[in-house]
C-alpha cells in the first residue's frame, strides 16, 4: 500500500510544483483576449468558467479510459503505479497543457493545424487523416459497450440502442457547446471523480491488500512491460486523444491563467482515477492471476461492475451502470464533435463552412463509419485505438517542442517525453499483433534505430535555433 499512497502524493506534488514550472516556460498573459471573446459565435466559441472547463475536459479526455485501461494495466503489477505517475506528470500533463494553450494562442486551432504550423504540411496531412481515424475509432469503441449493456437491462435490441446513442451523438455534435456539454457534463465529470474516490476509500477501509512494488513482483505476467504497458495505460498517463479534445475547451476559456487548472489539472485528476482503479484491479482479485481470470470471464465492464457493487453495495451498482453507460457516451460524442471541427477546418479551404446545415452535413461523414464500426468486436477496436492514440500523442509532443524551440524557450520539457514516446510507438507498431507482429528482440532493435534517427533530427532542429532559455514573466492579471 506504500507504493500506492506514495504515487498518489507524487501526483499531487506534480500538479503543485511541476505544472507551475511548465506554465512559466510557456509564459501566460491574462491581458491577451481569448478566442472565446474575439471569435465568439455562440456555437464553439463561448466563454465558460474554469471549473466547468476543468470538469468537461476531465470527462472529455477520460470517459472509461482511465478505468478500463488501468484495470487492464493492473495485470503488469505495481509497476503500473510508476508509469501512471511518471507518464502523467512529465508527459501527459505537459502534452495536455501545451495542446490546450497552443490552441488558445492560435485562435482555438485544431490539433492538425498546429502540427502543420510547426512540423510542416506533409505531417499535417498525415495527422489530419490519423486524427479522424482515431476519433471514429474512439466513438465506435466507446459506444459498443454502452449499447450492449442497454440491450441487456432494457427491452431495446443492441442495434436500436446503437441508433439511439448515435442520434444523441449527432444532436450533441451540432448544438452549441454550452447547450448540453456546458450544462450537464460538469455533473458527469463529478460522477466520474466521485466513483473513483469512493472505490479508493472503500479499498482502504476494507483493508484490501494493495501490493507494493518489489523485485519479486516487478513483472508478474508473461508479456513484456516495454512498450505494452505504455500503450495499455494511456488515459491516466498520456493519451493523444486528449489533444483532439483540448481545443473544445480552449475556445471557451476566459483567461490564459485558467489553462493550468483546466488542462494540467484535468490530466492529474485522471491520473489519480487511473491509480485508484489500477489498485482496485490488483487488490480486489488477490493478484494479477485472479484479475486475468475475471477479465477473461466478464471483460472490463464486468470487472468494474463487480468491484463497484462489492465495495459500495447498491450505490456502487448504480455508479457502475452510470459509468459504463454515460461516461463512454460522453467521450464518444465529443470525439465526433472534434472530428467535425477537424473536418470543417479541412473543407474550409475549399468551401464556405458557415451555417447550421453545413455543420450537420460535415457531421454525417464521420458518424456513419463510427456507427458501423461500433457493431464489430470491442476488443478488436480497442487494440487499434491504443497505438493510433499514442502516435498522435507523440506528434503533439514534437509539435510543442518545436513551438518552444522557435520561441527560444526550454524545449526539453516536451522534447524528452517526445523522444520517450517515439521509442514506445516505434517498438510497439513492429511488435504488437495489430502492428507487424514481429519478434520482440527484432522489434526492440528496429524501435531503437528509428528513435535514434528521430533523435538526430531533433539535434538538427536545435542547431537551427539559438540557445533556448526559460522565460519567466509575472502574470499582470494575477
What pLDDT, in 10s, does the model give residues 71-90?
A: 888 989 899 999 999 999 99
| Predicted local distance difference test score (pLDDT) of residue 428 | 94
Q: How many helices (H) and strands (E) does the chain have?
A: 20, 0
Q: Does the structure show a pLDDT above 60 at 477?
A: no
| Predicted local distance difference test score (pLDDT) of residue 372 | 83
Q: What is the DSSP letter of 100?
A: H
**CA gap 241, 247 in Å, rounded:** 11
Average pLDDT of the chain to the nearest whole number:
86
pTM of the model: 0.88
**CA gap 400, 119 in Å, rounded:** 10
Q: Does the structure show a pLDDT above 70 at 359?
A: no
Tell me the range of 160-169, 205-214, 301-310, 441-450 where mean pLDDT is highest: 441-450
Q: Closest Cα to residue 76, out of 209, 196, 217?
A: 217
> Which grid cell sits at 111?
490539433
What are the Cα distances from residue 408, in Å, to 105, 260, 262? 16, 21, 25
Model confidence pLDDT, tens digit, residues 106-120: 999 988 899 999 999
The answer to whether 199 and 277 are in contact (CB under 8 A) is yes
Q: What is the DSSP letter of 70?
A: H
SS3 content of the chain, % helix, strand, coil (to 5): 75, 0, 25
Q: Closest Cα to residue 385, out of 96, 144, 130?
A: 130
Q: To 10 degrees, the CA torsion angle through 287, 283, 235, 80?
A: -50
Letter string b/e over residues 8-39, b meaning 16 or more CB atoms within 10 A of that residue's CB: bebbeebbeebbeebbbbbebeeeeebbbeee
pLDDT classification of 476: cutoffs 50, 70, 90: very low
pLDDT classification of 312: cutoffs 50, 70, 90: confident
Tell me the range of 152-156, 265-269, 283-287, 354-358 where mean pLDDT is highest: 265-269
Fold of the domain built from segment(s) 32-393:
Amino acid/polyamine transporter I (1.20.1740)
Lowest mean pLDDT among 81-95, 118-132, 257-271: 118-132
Q: Closest Cα to residue 269, out of 111, 102, 92?
A: 92
CB atoms within 10 A of CB 151: 16
The answer to whether 62 and 196 are in contact (CB under 8 A) is no
Q: Closest Cα to residue 68, out of 324, 309, 264, 371?
A: 324
Ranges of each domain in the chain: 32-393
Tell me the range of 56-70, 176-190, 278-292 where mean pLDDT is highest: 278-292
**CA gap 98, 92 in Å, rounded:** 10
Q: Does the structure show a pLDDT above 80 at 210?
A: yes
Contact residues for 94 (Cβ-Cβ < 8 A; gap 6+): 22, 264, 397, 400, 413, 414, 417
pLDDT classification of 443: cutoffs 50, 70, 90: very high
Model confidence pLDDT, tens digit, residues 362-398: 777 777 888 888 887 666 666 777 888 899 999 999 9
The answer to whether 209 and 79 are in contact (CB under 8 A) is no
| Mean pLDDT calculated for residue range 344-364 | 67
Amino acid at each position: 500500500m506504500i507504493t500506492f499512497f506514495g504515487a498518489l502524493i507524487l501526483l499531487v506534488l506534480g500538479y503543485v510544483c511541476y505544472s507551475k514550472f511548465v506554465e512559466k516556460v510557456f509564459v501566460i498573459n491574462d491581458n491577451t483576449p481569448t478566442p472565446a471573446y474575439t471569435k465568439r459565435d455562440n456555437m464553439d466559441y463561448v466563454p465558460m468558467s474554469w471549473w466547468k472547463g476543468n470538469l468537461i475536459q476531465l470527462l472529455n479526455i477520460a470517459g472509461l479510459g482511465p478505468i478500463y485501461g488501468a484495470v487492464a494495466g493492473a495485470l503488469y503489477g505495481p509497476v503500473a503505479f510508476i508509469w501512471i505517475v511518471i507518464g502523467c506528470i512529465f508527459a501527459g500533463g505537459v502534452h495536455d497543457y501545451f495542446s490546450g494553450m497552443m490552441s488558445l494562442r492560435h485562435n482555438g486551432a485544431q490539433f492538425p493545424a498546429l502540427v502543420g504550423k510547426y512540423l510542416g504540411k506533409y505531417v499535417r496531412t498525415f495527422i489530419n487523416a490519423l486524427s479522424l481515424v482515431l476519433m471514429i475509432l474512439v466513438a465506435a469503441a466507446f459506444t459498443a459497450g454502452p449499447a450492449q449493456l442497454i440491450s441487456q437491462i432494457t427491452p431495446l435490441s443492441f442495434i436500436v440502442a446503437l441508433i439511439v446513442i448515435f442520434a444523441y451523438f449527432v444532436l450533441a455534435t451540432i448544438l452549441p457547446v454550452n447547450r448540453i456539454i456546458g450544462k450537464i457534463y460538469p455533473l458527469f465529470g463529478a460522477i466520474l471523480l466521485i466513483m473513483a474516490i469512493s472505490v479508493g476509500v472503500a479499498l482502504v477501509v476494507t483493508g484490501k491488500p494493495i501490493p507494493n512494488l518489489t523485485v519479486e513482483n516487478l513483472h508478474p505476467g508473461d508479456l513484456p512491460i516495454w512498450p505494452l504497458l505504455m500503450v495499455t495505460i494511456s488515459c491516466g498517463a498520456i493519451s493523444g486523444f486528449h489533444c483532439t479534445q483540448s481545443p473544445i475547451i480552449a475556445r471557451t476559456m476566459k483567461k490564459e491563467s485558467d489553462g493550468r487548472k483546466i488542462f494540467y489539472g484535468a490530466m492529474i485528476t485522471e491520473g489519480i482515477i487511473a491509480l485508484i482503479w489500477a489498485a482496485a484491479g490488483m487488490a480486489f482479485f488477490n493478484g494479477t492471476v485472479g484479475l486475468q481470470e475475471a477479465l477473461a470471464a466478464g471483460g472490463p465492464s464486468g470487472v468494474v461492475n463487480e468491484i463497484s457493487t462489492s465495495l459500495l453495495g447498491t450505490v456502487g451498482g448504480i455508479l457502475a451502470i452510470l459509468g459504463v453507460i454515460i461516461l463512454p457516451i460522453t467521450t464518444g460524442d465529443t470525439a465526433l464533435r472534434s472530428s467535425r471541427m477537424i473536418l470543417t477546418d479541412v473543407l474550409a479551404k475549399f468551401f464556405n463552412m458557415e451555417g447550421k446545415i453545413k455543420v450537420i452535413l460535415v457531421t454525417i461523414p464521420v458518424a456513419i463509419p463510427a456507427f458501423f464500426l461500433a457493431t464489430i468486436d470491442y476488443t478488436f477496436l480497442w487494440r487499434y485505438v491504443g497505438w493510433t492514440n499514442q502516435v498522435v500523442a507523440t506528434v503533439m509532443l514534437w509539435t510543442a517542442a518545436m513551438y518552444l524551440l522557435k520561441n527560444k524557450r526550454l524545449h526539453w520539457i516536451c522534447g524528452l517525453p517526445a523522444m520517450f514516446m517515439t521509442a514506445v510507438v516505434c517498438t510497439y507498431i513492429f511488435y504488437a499483433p495489430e502492428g507487424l507482429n514481429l519478434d520482440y528482440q527484432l522489434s526492440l532493435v528496429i524501435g531503437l534505430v528509428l528513435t535514434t534517427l528521430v533523435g538526430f533530427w531533433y539535434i538538427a532542429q536545435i542547431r537551427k535555433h539559438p540557445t533556448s532559455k526559460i522565460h519567466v514573466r509575472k502574470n499582470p492579471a494575477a
